């Protein structure tokens, strides 16, 4: 099994050289795949990785899934109703998760926020988006669904720190227990 350091160094090289034209896509989308048990190690190493990307002359913009999810939930007009309902029946996880997933995925939800972040950087030669905290999507969404809906909108290199298992060249298992998904149009490093 490769180390996080070696995988990140390989990722940096791949970003520098860009994407190869292939049958799936030519958008500059990269996944650093790591076992879910290394989530804390990745969080500890992320500041050093940001520094290395800056040394490589990238203007890095961090998009934290966790921060954006929390902001979406807190600003939703139905948030207080969700909290009240959850207090009335705290063990009804299905209802709570469905309500939260609806807030996250409707209107200008998470997809819209990532799309806005990408659009704001279009045309900036050294811009790079680093998407962190993907584990916060569980149990609401998987990033593959978001990636596919944003096809054609990745104009700057975008790196996803992906906790999961790589099961082939384009197949991933989010968090190691979701079903295998082969609909990614990205370069995968590690895993």
Instruction: Give the model confidence (pLDDT) of 57-72 as tens digits.
Output: 999 999 999 999 888 8
Q: Is the pLDDT of residue 2 over 70?
A: no
| DSSP 3-state of 170 | coil
For residue 39, give both structure tokens.
């989530």
For residue 171, give both structure tokens.
């197949």
pLDDT tier at 43 (50, 70, 90 boundaries)? very high
Q: Which is higher by pLDDT, 67 or 27?
A: 67
| CA dist list (Å): 45 to 8, 54, 68 | 10, 14, 21
**Average pLDDT across the chain, whole number:** 85
How large is the average pLDDT for residues 139-155?
83
Q: Is the pLDDT of residue 28 over 60?
A: yes
How large is the average pLDDT for residues 118-123?
94
CA 38 – CA 169 distance, rounded (Å): 21
Which pLDDT score is estimated for 183?
A: 67
How large is the average pLDDT for residues 33-62?
95
Q: Is the pLDDT of residue 18 over 80?
A: no
Which pLDDT score is estimated for 12?
A: 95
CA 97 – CA 99 distance, rounded (Å): 5
Listed residue (152, 150, 183) closest to 63, CA to CA = 150
Listed residue (168, 113, 117) closest to 137, CA to CA = 113
Buried b (16+ CB within 10 A) or exposed e, 31-45: bbbbbbeebeebeeb
Contact by Cβ (8 Å): 170, 184? yes
Q: Is the pLDDT of residue 80 over 60?
A: yes
Q: Is the pLDDT of residue 42 over 60?
A: yes
Contact by Cβ (8 Å): 165, 172? yes
Q: Report the CATH number of the 4-64+110-190 domain.
A: 3.40.50
Which pLDDT score is estimated for 1?
A: 47
């Amino acid at each position: 099994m490769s180390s996080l350091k070696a995988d990140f160094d390989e990722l940096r090289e791949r970003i520098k050289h860009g994407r190869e034209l292939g049958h799936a896509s030519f958008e500059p989308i990269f996944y650093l795949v790591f076992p879910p048990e290394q989530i804390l190690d990745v969080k500890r190493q992320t500041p050093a990785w940001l520094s290395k990307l800056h040394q490589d002359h990238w203007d890095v913009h961090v998009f934290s899934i966790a921060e954006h999810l929390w902001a979406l939930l807190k600003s939703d007009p139905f948030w207080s109703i969700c909290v009240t309902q959850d207090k009335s029946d705290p063990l009804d996880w299905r209802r709570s998760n469905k309500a939260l997933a609806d807030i996250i995925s409707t209107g200008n939800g998470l997809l819209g926020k990532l799309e806005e972040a990408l659009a704001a950087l279009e045309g900036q030669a050294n811009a790079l988006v680093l998407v962190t905290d993907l584990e916060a999507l569980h149990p609401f969404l998987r990033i593959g669904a978001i990636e596919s809906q944003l096809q054609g909108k990745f104009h700057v290199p975008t790196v996803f720190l992906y906790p999961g298992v790589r099961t082939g060249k384009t197949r991933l298992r989010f968090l190691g227990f979701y079903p295998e998904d082969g609909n990614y149009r990205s370069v995968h490093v590690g895993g």
